[in-house]
Amino acid sequence: MIKKKLVVAALLLSLVNIGCSTDDDFERGNWIKRSVFDGVPRTNAVSFTVGSKGYMGTGYDGDDYLNDFWEYDIEGNFWVQKADFPGIPRSAAVAFAIDEKGYLGTGYDGDTELSDFWEYDINTNNWERKEDYAGGIRREAIGFGVANKGYVGTGYDGTNDRKDFYKYNPDEDIWEELFGFGGEKRRSGTYFIIEDLVYLGTGESNGLYKEDFWAFNPETEIFTKKNDLDEEDDYSIMRSRAVGFEQQGLGYISTGYRGGAISTIWEYDPYYDEWEEITSLEGVMRQDAVGFSTGERVFVGMGRSGTMYLDDLYELFPQQEYDDED
């Protein structure tokens, strides 16, 4: 009788171990390659999303600064060239959407930083110059649109890294300085938006990668400090030149630069203020990529790895199991 009990116990233990092994083998986050970009490969372009369309343009191809502008049809999985950006060709600019209009400004033309600012009407395919960015010349800044206003801040002005922010009112075409950001100076940071709260961080200054992470509430215009990006010993989130996006209430920071191009991606849960690493980008590791997010679907593409300039595009399914056959 004792022997039988021992056999049953051993069998149950074996089944438990098999189940644990299966869980350990599960890699969450699957990537599927989408339509290759029709234009020239590039890095440091800008992007934003309106409805089921992604918009991308400007950047640098290794030889020239660019001003072409493109629309990616998310449902149809194809690219359409739109009216060229009429400003000086540039890289490292900012862009964001407010309602059905896009905004693009600042950046670097190969000689100097820029401060001009433009509006793009997706319905008429026309560009219109607006009031220059009030913070002055800037590249590698953070820019986002939320609650019918635009915000641009941080970045590099040609001499110093910055930490100031300015709010743009598109109805009146005016800028107003925004106070209260207690974070570090930085360039090449990133952000994502979850339910009208903006989460921002990463970047670098004086050769150091920034660990502070913040939430901005546009209703109160208050910045709230969150857990640092190195809060846990097993976190490896700090980087610059990353791309951020949101899907179904979770935030993501993907790819970037940390001593070289990287492909890792981290998922942020705003309720617990915690991060979890999921499957790295399946394509070439990269920095200065672009991203599109509808809230339901997310895409990462372009950028560069060393001297290789990229034109590929991948869609992320963060809750699916990784499948290398896709």
The structure tokens 């990229």 sit at 310
Looking at residue 25, its pLDDT comes to 64
Kindly state the percentage of the chain with pLDDT values over 70.
92
Low-confidence residues of the chain: pLDDT under 50: 1-22
Looking at residue 233, its pLDDT comes to 76
Question: How many Cβ atoms sit within 10 Å of the Cβ of residue 169?
Answer: 14
Average pLDDT value for the chain: 92
Per DSSP, the chain holds a count of helices (H) and strands (E) of 1, 28
> What DSSP string describes 15-72?
HHHHHHHHHHH--EEEEEE-PPPSS---BS-EEEEETTEEEEE--B-SS-BB--EEEE
Looking at residue 10, its pLDDT comes to 37
Looking at residue 9, its pLDDT comes to 38
Domain boundaries, the chain: 30-321
Query: pLDDT by residue (tens digit) across 151-190?
Result: 999 999 999 999 999 999 999 999 999 999 999 999 999 9
CATH number of 30-321: 2.120.10.80
Looking at residue 323, its pLDDT comes to 86
Question: What pairs with residue 253 in β-bridges?
Answer: 244, 266
Give the single-character DSSP code of 10. H
Cα 248–Cα 187–Cα 300 angle in degrees, nearest 5: 35
| CA distances from residue 231 to 121, 133, 214, 291 in whole angstroms, order as listed | 42, 35, 13, 26
